[in-house]
């Protein structure tokens, strides 16, 4: 197959071949062309507030240590001992000056430098004089507004160039607070028996919102006596490089500055003041976008930033064509008051949390899709054409966002195939 998508602009038809969700050869190409070449989210700089802080991470099939060295610099170290290969760090998080390998007790500073090993007399005096026995550092680690990414391709374009139009929407999220965002304690981890790309599609798919999450919206309608009809209205936007966003209005409260009758009346005054402050700082148009509008941002290939009733970041990786592992972070403005933080956390748990109204529904839908792909021999194509007739003026409930992803995906996988065929 020369392409996994079929796009007919005259017929306004966009099709994706279902083998991309089931084929192990496709997954191998994804690992080579996407997870080895694209910028991948490793974490937020607020996860490492103190010198010596570290988090153990799994990114793009690699085990990494996300650490702030004694010099204050944040690094990503490959979590493998240069001696015999064992994992050096076995704790998920903590604070340390030295990482010590369990196997032979080689010790490394928190910047990866080898500083000790038993039986040193059995090694040459100039052993490691060239630094080759230090822990290896990921060479490409870059940040945008606190969101940190790694790239295993040393020749990749800069993160700033890669993010393209997504930067505008990350700015709208971060600018909720003059002090920026911070990751809240804890991490949401779960697995789904479905292909990883389905979660990316789902995350920028407003079309499924009302039918799939009907129970949640029925509750929102009951909570707000002035809410006559639940509406999800907005637009979908191609941000370049496979990134996309849907920006829209919705009936839930936003702790930054959109009050809901579910919250205390006194909280309403605080939110009105917060909105006024943001409008004063950024102007009416931008201030209202920050406070009144929701954003689901898809950063190609596998980062979703949701700025809805709470702010979350989700990243997800395949372990097989039909199975993925997901990690979700909750973020909040630094310096947020306790009442707003409580409302934010309650809203997160109600909809986005592991027992909320959204996540289990979405996981069920994705797993049903994966089961349906057992009919791939007879039914080979997914249709992702909704709103194609509107061009760039798509609604948030259309599927422009997914088409943006798939065009970039097909381009990257085609390059991988070309290189493999050239080698042969």
pLDDT of 230: 64
Band (pLDDT 50/70/90 cuts) for residue 424 is: very low
Q: What is the pLDDT of residues 227-236, one digit of tens each?
A: 656 678 899 9
Q: Is the pLDDT of residue 390 over 90?
A: yes
283: alpha, beta or left? (left if phi > 0; alpha if psi -120 to 50): left
Report the range of poorest mean pLDDT among 124-138, 339-353, 379-393.
Answer: 339-353
Q: What is the pLDDT of residues 57-71, one digit of tens each?
A: 999 999 999 999 999
Provide the pLDDT for residue 257. Answer: 81
List, for residues 310-357, the tens digit of each pLDDT value. 999 999 999 999 999 999 999 999 988 888 888 888 888 888 887 888
pLDDT at 90 over 80: yes
Instruction: For CA atoms 367, 371, 376, 381, give the dihedral sign.
Output: negative
The residues spanned by each domain of the chain are 40-144, 165-414
Model confidence pLDDT, tens digit, residues 3-60: 899 999 999 999 999 999 999 999 999 999 999 999 999 999 999 999 999 999 999 9
Distance of alpha carbon 58 from alpha carbon 44, whole angstroms? 14
pTM (two decimals): 0.93
Average of pLDDT values for 229-255? 88
In terms of phi and psi (left: phi > 0; alpha: psi -120 to 50; beta: otherwise), the region of 241 is: left
How much is the pLDDT for 228?
A: 58
d(CA 64, CA 158): 21
- Provide the mean pLDDT of the chain: 92
Q: What would the two tokens of residue 200 be?
A: 């990316």
Tens of pLDDT, residues 175-187: 998 889 999 988 8
What was the pLDDT predicted at 260?
80
How does pLDDT run across 17-29, given as a tens digit for each residue? 999 999 999 999 9
As assigned by CATH, the class of the 40-144 domain is mainly beta
Question: Which residues fall within 8 angstroms of residue 385, CB to CB, at 6 or more apart?
Answer: 12, 13, 14, 15, 399
Q: Tell me, what's the pLDDT at 422?
A: 46
CATH number of 165-414: 3.90.380.10
C-alpha to C-alpha distances, 215 to 156, 296, 314, 350, 364, nearest whole angstrom: 45, 21, 23, 12, 15
Give the pLDDT of residue 86: 97
Q: What percent of the chain has pLDDT over 90?
A: 74
pLDDT at 323: 98
- What does the block give as tokens for 314? 């989700």
Contacts 24+ apart (CB under 8 A), 370-374: 370/21, 370/193, 370/194, 370/195, 370/198, 370/322, 373/18, 373/21, 373/22
């Amino acid at each position: 197959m020369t392409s996994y998508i079929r796009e007919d602009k005259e017929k306004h038809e966009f099709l994706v071949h279902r083998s991309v969700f089931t084929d192990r050869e496709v997954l191998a190409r994804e690992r080579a062309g996407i997870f080895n070449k694209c910028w991948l989210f490793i974490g937020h700089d607020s996860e490492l507030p103190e010198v010596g802080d570290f988090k153990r991470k799994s990114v793009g099939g690699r085990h990494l240590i996300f650490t702030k060295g004694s010099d204050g610099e944040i690094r990503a170290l490959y979590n493998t001992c240069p001696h015999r290969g064992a994992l050096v760090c076995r704790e998920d998080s903590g604070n340390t000056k030295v990482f010590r390998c369990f196997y032979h007790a080689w010790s490394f500073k928190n910047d990866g430098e080898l500083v000790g090993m038993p039986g040193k007399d059995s090694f040459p005096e100039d052993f490691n004089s060239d630094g080759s026995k230090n822990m290896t550092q990921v060479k490409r680690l870059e940040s945008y507004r606190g969101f940190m990414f790694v790239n295993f391709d040393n020749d990749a374009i800069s993160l700033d160039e890669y993010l393209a139009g997504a930067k505008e929407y990350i700015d709208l999220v971060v600018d909720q607070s003059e002090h920026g965002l911070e990751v809240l304690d804890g991490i949401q981890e779960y697995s789904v028996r479905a292909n990883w790309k389905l979660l990316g599609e789902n995350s920028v798919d407003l079309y499924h919102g009302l039918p799939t999450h009907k129970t949640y919206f029925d509750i929102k309608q009951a909570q707000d006596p002035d809410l006559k009809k639940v509406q999800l209205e907005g637009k979908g936007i191609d941000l370049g490089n496979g990134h996309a966003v849907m920006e829209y209005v919705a009936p839930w409260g936003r702790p930054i500055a959109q009050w809901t009758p579910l919250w205390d009346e006194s909280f309403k005054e605080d939110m009105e003041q917060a909105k006024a402050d943001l409008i004063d700082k950024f102007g009416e148009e931008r201030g209202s976008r920050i406070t009144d509008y929701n954003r689901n941002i898809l950063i190609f290939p596998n980062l979703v930033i949701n700025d809805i009733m709470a702010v979350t970041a989700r990243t997800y990786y395949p372990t097989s064509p039909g199975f993925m592992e997901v990690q979700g972070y909750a973020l909040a403005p630094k310096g947020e008051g306790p009442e707003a933080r409580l409302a934010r956390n309650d809203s997160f748990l109600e909809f986005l949390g592991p027992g909320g109204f959204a996540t289990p529904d979405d996981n069920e839908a994705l797993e049903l899709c994966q089961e349906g792909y057992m009919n791939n021999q007879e039914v080979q194509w997914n249709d992702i054409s909704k709103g194609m007739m509107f061009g760039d003026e798509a609604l948030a409930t259309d599927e422009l966002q997914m088409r943006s992803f798939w065009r970039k995906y097909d381009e990257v996988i085609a390059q991988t195939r070309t290189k493999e065929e050239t080698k042969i």
